[in-house]
Amino acid sequence: MTSFQAPKGTRDFYPLDAAKRRFITEAWRSASIRHAFEEVDGPIFEHLDLYTVKSGEGIVSELFSFRRDGGEKDYALRPEFTPTLARLFAAKAGSLPKPTRWFTAGPFFRAEKPQRGRLREFLQWNCDVLGDPSPAADAEIIATCVSLLASLGLTKNDVRVKVNHRAALAAWLESRGVPAATHGDLLKLLDAKGKMPPEEFAHKIAAFGFSPQQAEVFQKGVIRVTVPASVDPTSAAIDPLAPPTIDSSAHDVIDLTYFSDAVLPLAKELVAAGIIDWVDFDLSIVRGLAYYTGMVFEVHEAGGNDRAIAGGGRYDNLVEMFGGPSTPAVGFGMGDVVLALVLQDRKLMPSDQDVLRRVGATPDVFVVPGPAPEAEALVKPLTARLRALGLHARYSSKTTRNIGKLLKDASDSLARRAIILEGRDAASVKDLVSGQQIGPMPLDAAIALAAQR
RNA sequence: GUGGCCAUAGCUCAGUUGGUUAGAGCACGAGGUUGUGAUCCUCGGGGUCGCGGGUUCGAGUCCCGUUGGCCACCCCA
């Protein structure tokens, strides 16, 4: 006898796990649809070239790639959606509405060593706006992400959206005399600043011409954009028409002219979208990926140094890189693994029973035979009638006629109601939530009652 | 890729300095009693101790390897 284990970094989904997975993916879907995105999908595996074109051959060791026995083409399980998205868009760009708003949610694969918040097979949600260069599209992407987080019960105190602007940062650096060739090194240093003591960071960034005071602004990272409070003092809402301004204390230390040219229009859109108070502008958010060209953002658990819950930004050159027409684009991705960790952390993952209810896995009605001798034989025909009406109907697999045990079965199944068969044409209906029981009554009346929403 | 900790029933665990047919609780299944989510009673299925070697008269226990898990580093599209 050989026994098998699931491959490293994969998960098995037993019924409750599958229900939890649906809970998350359904939340993703409804947030996307609320924000006017349309669902698309592609193959789970693609030609290997699709990934090496953008990221170079080095990426191959991070992929699950394979060649069919006897075949000549190399394939890879998809590690991300963006190349597929660009391919789909490029193939039909001429006939697509502008802007194009697409989302997808499905499995992705990376050949990394598993650890907290990271598996080899995971689910990822992607939203992208193609063909809209405006800060409004940037804001809409962030707003969709925030909408999902809020729908799961997270608040602006649980999670923070950290936003930066690549192009503005680059222009500003250049205006300070930091040569473009060294920007990459500086971004890397900014990305790694959390992993070194402040003195070391200040020392290293001094090489790029920054004073210790300026290093501190980077170290703290956050620059708040303040907006005037609503005119109506009883409302906590921010006046959507008031112009936002950048925190002046940072302004005194670092000349933020270039930064503010890019940020204020975005901030204005974030105000309009009603999410400015979820957002911090953070000079140290750069994202690892080289292809971002403008706004970049990450969502982090407040006070936690966990992995990013979500991340994305603007990538205006990418579609062209995949052979499509030059198209401005902005998007983000969110994985299910870190999201689930954060929900558990914040005690926002619903109970097992609530998950089953919310994904619609619980029975509408449970059929129980009463003591009448013919009742047992009538259970299956009645169940069939209820199912034909579109109801989720079950009966016990137990052979006992003990009503208490059968009702326990009904209760364990989380059914809303039980029908107790009293005879050929008589039944009682018990509401398993309230405990109220009505009947006996004619069978048709019981069926009608059980079918009520 | 590097390192640390871990692996006994579906779950949580116990298992003496190596010593008979490896245990408990919960869960699960069958039946009985009482017409209502119970109570009580009886019975039952389940583990080649992750896997493979080694040491030993004898290994769940000691050693080596391997697979998987957790955690950190690297990386993170």
Closest CA to A309 of A278, A271, A353, A269: A278
Distance of C1' in B74 from CA in A121, Å: 20
Distance of C1' in B43 from CA in A351, Å: 35
A117 conformational bin, left if phi > 0, alpha if psi -120 to 50, beta if neither? left
Within 41-60 of chain A, which residues have Cβ less than 7 Å from strand B? 51, 55, 59
Sole residue written with tokens 């050949």? A111
Residue A189 contacts by C-beta under 8 Å, 6 or more apart in sequence? Answer: A201, A204, A205, A208
A175 touches strand B (CB under 7 A): no
Residue type, A113: K
A345 touches strand B (CB under 7 A): no
Interatomic CA distance for residues A59 and A46, integer angstroms: 14
The better pLDDT of the pair A219, A443 is held by A443
- Return the bridge partners of A428, or none: A420
- Secondary structure of residue A303 in the 3-state scheme: coil
Q: Any alpha helices (H) in A109-210, and if so which ranges?
A: 135-151, 166-175, 183-191, 198-206
Q: Which nucleotide is nearest to A407 (CA to C1')?
A: B37
Q: Is the pLDDT of residue A249 over 70?
A: no
- Return the bridge partners of A122, or none: A108
Q: Which nucleotide is nearest to A290 (CA to C1')?
A: B77
Q: What is the mean pLDDT of residues A28-35?
A: 97
A394-399 contacts: CB < 8 A, separation 24 or more? A394/A363, A394/A365, A394/A366, A394/A367, A395/A366, A395/A367, A395/A368, A396/A366, A396/A368
- Return the bridge partners of A109, or none: A121
Q: Is the pLDDT of residue A427 over 50?
A: yes
The better pLDDT of the pair A28, A223 is held by A28
Q: Which nucleotide is nearest to A409 (CA to C1')?
A: B37
Q: Is the pLDDT of residue A233 over 60?
A: no
Asked if omega into A440 is within 30° of 0 (cis), the reply is: yes
A266 touches strand B (CB under 7 A): no
Q: What is the mean pLDDT of residues A29-58?
A: 91
Q: Is the pLDDT of residue A2 over 60?
A: no
The gap from C-alpha A292 to its chain's centroid, in whole angstroms, comes to: 20
Q: What is the mean pLDDT of residues A197-219?
A: 81
Q: What is the mean pLDDT of residues A365-385?
A: 88
pLDDT at A103: 98
Closest CA to A311 of A117, A133, A88: A117
pLDDT at A18: 87
Residue A307 CB neighbour total at 10 angstroms: 18
Give, as ranges, the nucleotides of chain B with any atom within 7 Å of a protein CB: 1-3, 28-39, 48, 50-51, 67-77
Q: Which nucleotide is nearest to A433 (CA to C1')?
A: B37
Q: Are A302 and A211 in contact (CB under 8 A)?
A: no
Residue type, A150: A
Closest CA to A392 of A419, A372, A416, A363: A363
Closest CA to A164 of A319, A293, A305: A293
pLDDT at A122: 94
pLDDT at A253: 63
Q: Is the pLDDT of residue A36 over 90?
A: yes
Q: Which residue is nearest to nucleotide B48 (CA to C1')?
A: A1
User: Largest Cα–Cα distance in chain A?
Assistant: 93
Distance of C1' in B40 from CA in A377, Å: 29
pLDDT at A234: 47
Interatomic CA distance for residues A328 and A316, integer angstroms: 4
Exposed, middle or buried by CB within 10 Å (0-12, 13-18, 19+), for A117? middle
pLDDT at A59: 76
A114 touches strand B (CB under 7 A): yes
Within 135-174 of chain A, which residues have Cβ less than 7 Å from strand B? none
A432 touches strand B (CB under 7 A): yes
Q: Which nucleotide is nearest to A289 (CA to C1')?
A: B77
pLDDT at A243: 65
At A231, is the pLDDT very low, low, confident or very high (cuts 50, 70, 90)?
very low
Interatomic CA distance for residues A362 and A395, integer angstroms: 13
Interatomic CA distance for residues A388 and A172, integer angstroms: 67
A357 touches strand B (CB under 7 A): no
The gap from C-alpha A131 to its chain's centroid, in whole angstroms, comes to: 23
Within 271-300 of chain A, which residues have Cβ less than 7 Å from strand B? 287-289
Q: Is the pLDDT of residue A365 over 80?
A: yes
Average pLDDT, chain A: 86
Within 220-239 of chain A, which residues have Cβ less than 7 Å from strand B? none
Q: Any alpha helices (H) in A35-164, and if so which ranges?
A: 49-55, 82-92, 135-151
A398 touches strand B (CB under 7 A): yes
Q: Which nucleotide is nearest to A118 (CA to C1')?
A: B76
The better pLDDT of the pair A386, A262 is held by A386
Q: What is the mean pLDDT of residues A212-235?
A: 63
Which of A45-54, A92-101, A175-184, A256-265 shows the lowest per-residue confidence on average (mean pLDDT)?
A256-265
Closest CA to A307 of A281, A341, A278: A341
Structure tokens at A346: 């914040």
Interatomic CA distance for residues A19 and A371, integer angstroms: 36
ipTM here: 0.83
Mind listing the pLDDT tens digit for each residue in A294-308? 999 999 998 766 678
Distance of C1' in B29 from CA in A383, Å: 24
Distance of C1' in B9 from CA in A117, Å: 30
Mind listing the pLDDT tens digit for each residue in A335-354? 999 999 899 888 888 888 88
